[in-house]
């Protein structure tokens, strides 16, 4: 396969649907500031030319290795998916490509900006753009999320793969994302979407059962309300289900919420937003490199229905699912002080 010459400029993928379709006007401001800093970049807009994932993948094939994700958490996720699609497609060729060859920067134009909180990226567009002059390059982990075929268990037959830059979840966590995403499609935005979706799904919760295996050891088996798996600390508009997560430690933080009485849930829920969620003694919290969520039942003849799975706020399917931290890391543009 012919190797495309590596581009020296940045590829800016602008999600015109971010921030309830206000991103295009917001990007014009960022565009002028990047020009004033003499940053070399080419701009590609989502829409008729493709989504952020396909645009990023095509740019990789054209030799781009430096990306600007202009949008929210969904845009970051899609750009990463495009990069990983390219990396995976080259893994069995004579010219393999490493994830460590790629650099991601973010101009926050979205309504959901959770990833930037962990990375220390300013929400203010001017300050975020200034990192092209004042910032530095750091590393961050990437997680491969593999949906498994429940029919062939215990054999782990992969049905679908996606890649995670921030936080994923199973159960209530995924149901909240699903409800929020539906509201965004109707033009709604704001932190209150996540709070109202959380309250709705807690009230209408349906307890599920699962077994969770971390690095070969079973850490949980029974009824649960929600599970979160994080490289980053923030998700769902500022909730901190994995408040101790570190972007580059090579580990995935795990938080399992067992089925709890409604009054207990109501009492502890505020800790999701103040960083003290890890003080709730009923939680199962640990970290590892490979985590699998499997069906669980006291009666082996019963067939457990799959719980929804979300990756970076996008519902990708249903459990069983396996999360693996990749050995290779992604370069990210961050403040020098991070």
First-residue to last-residue Cα distance in the chain = 39
Residue 10 pairs in a beta bridge with 41
> What is the model's pTM?
0.90
State CA 304 to chain mean position distance.
26
The pLDDT value recorded for residue 1 is 39
Do residues 166 and 284 both lie within one domain?
yes
- Is 74:313 a contact under the CB 8 Å cutoff? yes
294 is a domain residue: yes
The pLDDT value recorded for residue 298 is 58
pLDDT tens per residue across span 246-298 = 999 999 999 999 988 878 888 888 898 888 999 999 999 999 999 999 988 75
The pLDDT value recorded for residue 270 is 85
The pLDDT value recorded for residue 299 is 45
**pLDDT tops 60 at residue 3:** no
Mean pLDDT calculated for residue range 10-37: 86
The domain total for the chain is: 2
Do residues 288 and 267 both lie within one domain?
yes
Domain end point (choices 134, 157, 188): 134
**pLDDT tops 80 at residue 113:** yes
The pLDDT value recorded for residue 301 is 42
Percent of the chain with pLDDT over 70: 91
Q: Which of the four pLDDT bands, split at 50, 70 and 90, describes residue 303?
A: very low
- Is 146:321 a contact under the CB 8 Å cutoff? yes
334 is a domain residue: no
Domain end point (choices 134, 161, 190): 134
Do residues 293 and 212 both lie within one domain?
yes
**pLDDT tops 70 at residue 53:** yes
Do residues 177 and 321 both lie within one domain?
yes
Domain end point (choices 99, 134, 169): 134
Sheet holding 136-140, edge to edge: 41-45, 10-14, 66-71, 103-108, 330-334, 136-140
The pLDDT value recorded for residue 297 is 72
Range of the domain at 259: 143-325
Do residues 57 and 173 both lie within one domain?
no
């Amino acid at each position: 396969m012919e190797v495309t010459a590596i581009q020296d400029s940045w590829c800016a993928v602008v999600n015109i649907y971010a921030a309830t379709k206000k991103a295009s006007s917001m990007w014009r401001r960022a565009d002028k500031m990047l020009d004033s800093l003499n940053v070399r970049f080419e701009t590609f807009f989502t829409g008729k030319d493709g989504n952020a994932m396909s645009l990023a993948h095509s740019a990789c094939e054209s030799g781009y290795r430096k990306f600007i994700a202009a949008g929210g958490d969904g845009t970051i996720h899609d750009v990463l998916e495009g990069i990983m699609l390219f990396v995976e497609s080259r893994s069995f060729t004579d010219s393999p490509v490493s994830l460590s060859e790629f650099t991601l920067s973010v101009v926050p134009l979205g309504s959901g900006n959770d990833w930037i909180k962990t990375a220390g990226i300013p929400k203010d567009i001017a300050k975020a753009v200034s990192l092209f002059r004042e910032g530095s390059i750091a590393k961050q982990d990437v997680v491969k999320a593999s949906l498994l075929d429940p029919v062939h268990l215990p054999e782990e037959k992969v049905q679908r793969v996606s890649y995670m830059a921030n936080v994923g979840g199973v159960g209530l966590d995924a149901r909240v994302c699903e409800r929020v995403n539906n509201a965004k499609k109707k033009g709604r935005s704001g932190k209150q979407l996540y709070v109202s979706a959380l309250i709705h799904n807690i009230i209408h919760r349906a307890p599920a059962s699962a077994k969770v295996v971390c690095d070969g050891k079973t850490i949980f088996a029974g009824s649960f309300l929600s599970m979160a798996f994080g490289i980053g600390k923030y998700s769902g508009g500022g909730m901190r289900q994995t408040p101790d997560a570190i972007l580059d430690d090579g580990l995935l933080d795990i938080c399992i919420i067992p089925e709890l009485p409604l009054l207990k849930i109501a009492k502890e829920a505020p800790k999701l937003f103040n960083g003290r969620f890890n003080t709730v003694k009923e939680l199962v919290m640990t970290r590892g490199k490979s985590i699998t969520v499997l069906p669980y039942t006291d009666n082996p003849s019963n067939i457990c229905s799959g719980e929804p799975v979300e990756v970076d706020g996008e519902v990708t399917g249903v459990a069983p699912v396996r999360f693996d931290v990749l050995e290779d890391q992604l370069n990210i543009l961050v403040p020098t002080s991070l």
